[in-house]
Amino acid sequence: MIVWLASYPKSGNTLLRSILTSYFFSQNGDFNFELLNKIGQFPNIEIFNKLGINTLDENLVFKNLIKAQELINKEYKNYKFIKTHSAFCKVNGYNFTNLENTLGVIYIVRDPRNIVTSFAHHYDLNINEATNALIDKSRFLVKTSSSPKVILGSWNFNFNSWKIFERDKKYLLIKYEDLIYDKKNTILKVFEFIGKLLNQNIAVDDNKLKKCIVSTDFKKMKSLEIKETFYEAPLDTKNGGRKPFFKLGPNNDYKKLLDKKNRDKIEKHFKLEMSELGYI
């Protein structure tokens, strides 16, 4: 069954994946980029190719999202973490997922005033364009070589859409800021949540967890990216190389980097959710 790691882009999904893969899929808790392949993204081209679905037909992809998840769940009887930036909603009348294919949802949220600068860097936008993207309720992520088109929605639409799983006790909300400043306790909450979903205790290896925390420190991951190619980093359209994925991390401070006009615009559009989350 699928445990979704859902988030708006640039909200800490990669950090959570890094911690989870280094704990569950490494021998001693040391992180490396190859481990991230253990938690793939959905939707992805490969799974639809297995089903013989033409991914150039967007409506056909949306129509078969559930069928693709059923195939994944046939392969993984216990549980499988899968990353997504999709909002939970209907597109052309087709749901993104359902309770039959979802064991649980871990939603990672981040202050949108800090997302916007990372979003601009990653998607090659200026700050005004990135701010408008965050408030665009009809925003899609375009098709890539590995992923079909997916509905993103605005920052608050994406955040609110996944809350529906809370009524079935299948929802855990974690904040990016807690992953940075209270990493151990946040991960223990994730383990506890998984245990409840599975109706079993997740035994915690303290030494391994400590290594996971150390090896996924932002500075270490930034240093690793300098030495090795990180294939999830965005392509630089100017020189054909890759832009740094681990650029600012905790140093991405909207108070220093975001102009007042865009800051006010974000706070106005997302006042309700930002108040709920304690961001304002």
Q: What is the pTM of this model?
A: 0.93
CATH number 3.30.930.10 given to 2-276: no
**Which of 134, 77, 149, 102 is closest to 254 using CA atoms?**
134
- Which amino acid is located at 117 in the chain? T
Residue partners of 59: CB distance under 8 A and separation at least 6? 92
pLDDT at position 246, please?
66
**Which of 66, 90, 214 is closest to 151 using CA atoms?**
90
Structure tokens at 263: 């800051």
Dist CA 269 CA 159 (whole Å)? 14
Cis peptide before 43 (omega within 30 of 0): yes
Q: What angle do CA 35, 3, 244 make, to 5 degrees?
A: 40
Cα separations in angstroms, 173 against 34, 159, 162, 237 = 26, 10, 10, 35
**Which of 57, 81, 84 is closest to 151 using CA atoms?**
84
Query: Tens-digit pLDDT profile for the chain (280 aa)?
Result: 999 999 999 999 999 999 999 999 999 999 989 999 999 999 999 999 999 999 999 999 999 999 999 999 998 878 999 999 999 999 999 999 999 999 999 999 999 999 999 899 888 899 999 999 999 999 998 888 889 999 999 999 999 999 999 999 999 999 999 999 999 999 999 999 999 999 998 889 999 999 999 999 888 878 878 787 766 665 666 666 676 676 777 778 899 999 999 999 999 999 999 999 999 9
Residue partners of 30: CB distance under 8 A and separation at least 6? 22, 211, 215
SS3 call for 198:
helix
**Which of 42, 16, 45, 46 is closest to 31 using CA atoms?**
16
Dist CA 89 CA 57 (whole Å)? 19
Q: What one-character DSSP code corresponds to residue 143?
A: P
**Which of 272, 101, 85, 64 is closest to 161 using CA atoms?**
85
Question: How many Cβ atoms are within 10 Å of 268's Cβ, its own excluded?
Answer: 9
Judge whether 110 and 177 are in contact, CB under 8 Å: yes
Q: What residue ranges do the domains of the chain occupy? A: 2-276
Structure tokens at 59: 């409506």
